[in-house]
Amino acid sequence: TDYGSSLTVSLPAALQPHQPFQIIVRYTTADGPAIWWLDPELTYGNAKPFVFTQGHSVCNRSFFPCFDTPAVKCTYSATVKAPAGIQVLMSATQSSYLEEEGVYQFYMEYPVPAYLVALVAGDLIHADIGPRSRVWAEPCLLPTAISKLSGIVERWLTAAESLYGPYIWGRYDIVFLPPSFPIVAMENPCLTFIISSILESDEFLIIDVIHEVAHSWFGNAVTNATWEEMWLSEGLATYAQRRITTETYGAAFTCLETAFRLDALHRQMKLLGEDNPVSKLQVKLEPGVNPSNLMNLFTYEKGYCFVYYLSQLCGDPRHFDSFLRAYIEKYKFTSVVAQDLLDSFLNFFPELKEQCVESKAGLEFERWLNATGPPLAEPDLSQGSSLTRPVETLFKLWTTEPLDSVAAASSVDLTKWRTFQTVLFLDRLLDGSPLPHEVIKKLSECYSSQLDSMNAEIRIRWLQIVVRNDYYPDLYKVRRFLENQMSRMYTIPLYEDLCTGTLKSFALEIFYQTQNQLHPNLRKTIQQILSQGLNPLPAIDTTAVTTDTPAMVLEDKVSEATNGAISLRDVNVSA
């Protein structure tokens, strides 16, 4: 199963308490939830196979034997043998390479939880982008990565250090992964993993990398001891991310990004219902439930709102910064529970403890942690009004009946807007869909050509509006988008919308044409979406499928490794 089985080791009776001992486990591993093998056609360069691991939350037990809990931290070393021409990287502070043997040696000198042990291997080259940072990417992507990040990562690290103390991990490198990477980014220490698809969306790239930078303090140095309190890492990292963006890009930009995320939080609340237990900060983890299934916007944004509320109790965010520096210094390289954070907070601010702020009616700390529903308080975002007000004005022009303000609305040039302004506007239109046909027709006339030239974060939202409103004149753009996307984050939302409405046959047709360029895991997920409500169909050999095949593939045939010169399934890893 995904969760594996426990390994119990009986220790010798003669072993004395606290006496050091060594255990050697000899094991093999192939496919598993943590290990993603890619054939060359699933990479950007189509030249060499690729492999990466993704350990969060409880997947690394399929990678190596470990205490797979965030409560346990340890150092690690690893020896990796790989074919010539394959670059291997790990989340480690030290590394070396013996070229004649094709052997890499890695060592992480600081204790980390098992989920932060990560490996990537493939056709990767690097370039330095700062005094302690470099980017790794496939050769065809490296120039873009350099142009987007050169010089600014050091700016973010310096800002973070001024807020929360020294960066303790040595290097901060970034590796861009193929579109099969199942999430946007992962804060593996020393080596952030990030999906290459995000490179075209500058503002999302900024926010996502800064968030992973923030995890260097909150999540990696100090970790939530249980998966039931993931907000301790994600809520604090989100707060720190926004403090860093405020220092480097100003309060207005930070408030705009926050407004966009809180809009999404309330959208998720409407879908789930205010009484849903997953909206608690302290979620009860039932046996057999994958902790990753508990991660949602509440983990990030409700957690952020609680941390922001604590900062407001101090009166000055700089005072709260001082507390967080002390918190990191006290608990670094350990795992904590919520009470550790809150006790430290009250001890650092004795005047607040005397005022019994933890028991303030309606805002009790215990209620923040255990009540379902939206945050008990949200931040003041008025400093972002110069950026959010135009969005609100344009949205009202398009949604107020009668529709007699098209001239004013059409004069707005979205190409002059920030990405977060445009996605906030489109998300609100999505919330109101289906829209009157006349509105969607005029929207397309005004903005469709502008949106065509924008990044994927913007385009996917416009295409979701097209699908939810059955606007057939722009459906060819949905096809074109899906024909060029291999990423989960840019395919799943569109397939879900296509299959919810009347366009399932259109979705089936696109899937037939594109399935061979999708990772088997993503292909399987889309098949599940497409098969909902259909009668079971016989399995079809995917090797025989052409674009003219009229039936749907309901059983996934996972292709074996290609018989090329390099097979990464032969890589040997011992950790």
Nearest 5°: CA angle at 340, between 337 and 341? 95
Q: How many CB atoms lie within 10 A of CB 111?
A: 15
Yes or no: say if 184 and 194 are a contact pair by the CB < 8 Å rule.
yes
- The answer to the question of whether 215 is labelled as a binding residue is yes
- The answer to the question of whether 56 is labelled as a binding residue is no
Using DSSP bridges, classify how beta strands 103-113 and 119-122 pair: parallel, antiparallel or unpaired.
Answer: unpaired
The Cα–Cα gap between 469 and 261 comes to 24
The dihedrals phi and psi of 143, each to the nearest 5 degrees, come to -55, -40
Burial class (CB in 10 A: 0-12, 13-18, 19+), 168: middle
* Largest interatomic CA distance in the chain: 87
The two tokens of residue 564 are 């090329």
The two tokens of residue 195 are 């999906």
Task: State the SS3 of 107-173.
Answer: EEEEEEEHHHCCEEEECCEEEEEECCEEEEECCCCHHHHHHHHCCHHHHHHHHHHHHHCCCCCCCCE
Rama region for 533: left / alpha / beta (φ>0; ψ in -120 to 50; rest): left
Considering the candidates 300, 304, 308, 512, report the single residue annotated as catalytic: 300
Which residues, other chains included, contact 508 with Cβ-Cβ below 8 Å and sequence gap of 6+? 530, 552
- The answer to the question of whether 234 is labelled as a binding residue is yes
| CA distances in angstroms from 487 to 58, 183, 515, listed in the order given | 22, 9, 12
Has 301 been annotated as catalytic? no
Cα 263 to chain center, whole Å?
Answer: 18
Considering the candidates 212, 229, 301, 457, report the single residue annotated as catalytic: 212
The Cα–Cα gap between 85 and 123 comes to 7
Has 212 been annotated as catalytic? yes
DSSP 266-325: HHHHHHH-TT-GGGSSS----TT--GGGG-SHIIIIIHHHHHHHHHHHTSSHHHHHHHHH
The two tokens of residue 519 are 């990772």
Write out the binding residues: 211, 215, 234
Active-site positions read: 212, 300
Write out the binding residues for Zn(2+): 211, 215, 234
